[in-house]
Structure 1
Amino acid sequence: MRRANLEKLKNAADKQQVQQHLNDSICSITTATTDVQKYWHSLKQCIQETTETMLGHQAPKKKQLWMTQHILDQMSEQRIYKNNNWEKYKEMQQKIREEIRKAKEKWMGEQYKQEKLDNWTNYIHKLFGAARTPAEKDQQVPEEALHILTSEVEYAIKTAKSGKACGPDTVHVELLKQLDIDNIRQLTNWYNQVYNSNNIPSDWLQSIFVAIPKKATSRKCKDYRLLSLMSHVLKVFLKVIQQRICCTCKNALKNTQFGFCKGLGTREAIFGLQILLQRCYEHQEEVYICFIDYEKAFDSVDHNRLATQLKQLGLDKNDINFIIALYWNQTAQLWYNNELTDPIPIQKGVRQGCPLSPILFNIYSEQIFDQTLADKNIGIKVNGQYINNIRYANDTALVADSEQDLQQILDEVAAEGQIWGLRINKKKTKVMKVSRTPSNTTIKLGNEKLEQVHRYKYLGGLIDDQLNHEVEIKSRIEQARQAITKWKTLLADRNLNTRLKLRTLKCYIWSILLYGVETWTLTTVTTKRLVAFEMWLYQRMLKIPWTAKITNAQVLQDMGTDRQLLKTIISRKCNYLGHIARNDHKYQLLQQILQGKIEGKKLPGRPKTTWLSNIKTWLQLTTAQTLHAVLDRDQYHREVAPAVSQH
């Protein structure tokens, strides 16, 4: 039985019309009749007619959230055939069941999608929300502020990376690269208006977050890295600002920071730590290391403290005011499942993908180590100076010569980090002891004991507590072996030119194999393993089965080449030594680690193979002769050439 639409009676105008119509209808019934049944029939007819005419029937209500009006209409139609046409009734029943299944699936998918978006929105609110005080801009901007030059903008556009996703304004950097000098000059004039007024375009204040999983099994929001898609026009502008402030900011950093500094990289950080461990091991000095992992380091930067740091550095006031205006008014939307969330205010953190973020984070985090480790006589003593940390941005390794000293500096760094909003992840922070006499450690963070490991992957390179360098080389070989499967079809194609296949091999396989090769220490075993792997690659390219009896000489002849892998390794290691030795200012810390005096005594007998002993053996020189030869670049290259050609 269909219910009348009584909701209309809640509306005053509709209610008055219903009353008027009903009362007029009832008045027309003659009251003279004494026939009770006849009167009742007339009264009922008046009420029913008023209901049909003035109110109508209420649409069927959905008892389930997934129910659709189309299904309800079909169910109403089905009832008509229940007693009249059984075949038609069954046919419609089957259709309705199929519609219900699809409606349920669609509704559940939408609910899941919306729930995911809500979870991400709440996560971002929690991650980037902070009790931030209003920005304090410096009102005393000098009258003769340094204007942005056309040459600066031209350089920023020229060096911008192509193939990057565009931001909310949908402007691609490739189109900016098509501007002629007159339009670049016009763009520069507009940049100066923005720079001097801090009237930032709204598109510059918006960014789009893209969630990138940190690992294949990522399930929770915290297991993703949020990259910011920003306006490329803004990126060009920020590139100009970066070039202006980089020298001042670089001078404020200690030489133990290798992250995002010109001429430095992960290779230098790995090299510094590896050589320091080798030299201490050689002199029977124990080394205790704590590999610190910060929780969402880039997303935890306090904007007020950052602004204070920039002012203390003495940067140009226009630069500071622009950075403040940009960071205090920014919002972000998350792109997830082809949908955008509502704009979310960003009240802390530096955007991953912004040209300024690396240098701003370095300046921010430097204060933690400056407050706790500067001028502290704790660490590894080299040439009378203490080295107690090696850093690449937020990837930090604390080093000390005793467990007590490491515990002390870890406690101080952790406490200062809490003040600055950088919390240490206890589960991912590890401890290692490098010593000839291995033993367990009891390093704690708070009340929780940190896990001691025998191997740790630091910046992509494996660190072993017994300095077993074969572990790292075997790991690189295995990664290269897995990569070869992606290129197997191309590299084994007999229709392709061999020279082209060799170039492809070096570009896509050797780049994986030889990551950090400058820091490797080769032994007889690892050398043979590398040579064997190179021959294995050539055999795969020639489709030679493992059962075939063929000499390596024949394989090389068929490939039209000789052994190149070992020559490449020797050349890169020797050239890297010269690169370090001839740049006193940039690599002062690495020179100190490589050549400085380490306390302790060497054991008698045959020494363990070291990084420097590799080069001495190849060049057939003593330590003093090698370190003297590298200072003359041309003479050193003449020494290296025969060593490379012999292998």
Structure 2
Amino acid sequence: MPRGKAPGTDKLSVELLQAVQSPICVEGVISCAPYRPITLLPVLYKVFTRCILARIRGTLEEAQPIEQAGFRKGYMLPKLSRVQKAPAKVWETRYTKILQECYTDCHTVFRPFCRDVAVAVERGVLQGDPISPCLFSACLESTIRRCDWEPFGVEVNGVRLNHLRFADDIVLVTKTPEDASRMINGLHEAGKEAGLTINTTKTKVLRNSFCSLEPVLLQGVALEDVKEYVYLGRLVNMKNDLKPEIERRKRAGWAAYNSIRTVLERVSNSKLRADLFNSTVLPALCYACETWALTRKAEDELRRVQISIE
């Protein structure tokens, strides 16, 4: 079609259609869940909620336990020894009402066929909202407090540990499968009151050689037993074998290098090449290395990979 023609009511010009390249198809997709669309929030709204967050952050932080330390901003290891107490402060009514107003009559609009379709948003928090992580953590903390997990868990240096959290990624620690079943079913029941559900496809059971082989049940359904599991990007197993994780890091390092390889081939500035390597390849190669107990052999393997990539 010739260019320079005025677009119709759909506002699509010939130039725009010709500029669209062939779509990149993703093979093996059987579910749309990982490709959900996002909603862009107004900048003025985000500025407003950031101001609200600055006023209530202290109260929210005081209510969080040490199990959620990794998800909290500026929470360093020395603070873990502090005894957590119930917050003495109570939110002013106006802040609660403001937050309720922000999540009342919410809707989003998308345009599948050149026509706006409004969809009511009835659950969840807004993606990209500065206050969303804190509100979600507060909701999850309220849910877990209703679970009554005090009798469960194991003692570590005199402190009872029954779970760990990073946002909504939760690890339950128990001595027996029966206790694990009670804990996870209690979490399921408490979560329903807040509109939270457990993703059974991602919920797995890791047990050591001393544990009973009795299944862990969630709503009467046995959860899958696995030998290893990727938690927060780190492969963990009950044997504390670091070799599988080292192999994953080596592959991730090469994958990161291949993603910028064409760019590096065009860059002659050595400093810029080093900056690209340090900001792209090195984080993939050394992710979570602070938790590793490296042997000399593992160090040599990582060093050889780094030299090969450089």
Fold similarity call, TM over 0.5:
yes
Aligned to 2:251: 478
Distance 2:248 2:269 in 1: 30
Query: Are 2:175 and 2:211, in contact at CA under 8 Å, matched by a contact in 1?
Result: no
For residues 222-621 of structure 1, the aligned pairs below 5 Å read 222-258=33-69, 260-264=71-75, 314-334=90-110, 336=112, 339=114, 341-373=116-148, 376-435=150-209, 440-492=213-265, 496-538=268-310
Query: Are 1:441 and 1:452, in contact at CA under 8 Å, matched by a contact in 2?
Result: no
Distance 1:336 1:403, change over 3 A: same
Query: Are 1:218 and 1:224, in contact at CA under 8 Å, matched by a contact in 2?
Result: no
Distance 1:383 1:536 in 2: 43
Aligned to 2:14: none
Query: Are 1:368 and 1:413, in contact at CA under 8 Å, matched by a contact in 2?
Result: yes
The alignment covers a number of residue pairs equal to 276
Q: Give the CA deviation at 1:450.
A: 0.4
Q: Give the CA deviation at 1:226.
A: 4.4
Amino acid at match of 1:358: P
Amino acid at match of 1:400: T
Distance 2:302 2:288 in 1: 15
Distance 1:482 1:388 in 2: 37
Distance 1:428 1:528, change over 3 A: same
Q: Give the CA deviation at 1:464.
A: 1.4
CA RMSD of aligned residues (A): 2.6
Query: What is the DSSP-based 3-state SS (H/G/I as helix, E as strand, rest coil) of the residue aligned with 1:401?
Result: coil
Query: What is the DSSP-based 3-state SS (H/G/I as helix, E as strand, rest coil) of the residue aligned with 1:396?
Result: strand
Query: Are 1:242 and 1:355, in contact at CA under 8 Å, matched by a contact in 2?
Result: yes
Query: What is the DSSP-based 3-state SS (H/G/I as helix, E as strand, rest coil) of the residue aligned with 2:39?
Result: strand
Q: Give the CA deviation at 1:509.
A: 0.7
By percentage of residues, which structure has more helix?
A: 1
Distance 2:74 2:115 in 1: 39
Distance 2:70 2:136 in 1: 10
Distance 1:489 1:341 in 2: 40
Q: Give the CA deviation at 1:350.
A: 1.2
Distance 1:320 1:235 in 2: 17
Unaligned runs of 5+ in 1: 1-214, 273-311, 539-647
Distance 2:239 2:212 in 1: 12
Distance 2:288 2:238 in 1: 18
Aligned to 2:84: none
Aligned to 1:151: none
Distance 1:251 1:423, change over 3 A: same
Q: Give the CA deviation at 1:511.
A: 1.8
Aligned to 1:115: none
Query: Are 1:350 and 1:357, in contact at CA under 8 Å, matched by a contact in 2?
Result: yes
Q: Which has the higher contact order (CA 8 A, sep 6+)?
A: 1
Identity percentage over the alignment?
Answer: 27
Q: Give the CA deviation at 1:218.
A: 4.2
Query: Are 2:176 and 2:211, in contact at CA under 8 Å, matched by a contact in 1?
Result: no
Q: Give the CA deviation at 1:460.
A: 0.9
Query: Are 1:227 and 1:351, in contact at CA under 8 Å, matched by a contact in 2?
Result: no
Query: Are 1:260 and 1:359, in contact at CA under 8 Å, matched by a contact in 2?
Result: no
Distance 1:340 1:384, change over 3 A: farther
Distance 1:434 1:335 in 2: 51
Query: Are 2:176 and 2:212, in contact at CA under 8 Å, matched by a contact in 1?
Result: no
Query: What is the DSSP-based 3-state SS (H/G/I as helix, E as strand, rest coil) of the residue aligned with 2:199?
Result: coil
Distance 2:185 2:222 in 1: 13
For residues 129-148 of structure 1, the aligned pairs below 5 Å read none
Distance 1:458 1:216 in 2: 25
Q: Give the CA deviation at 1:398.
A: 0.5
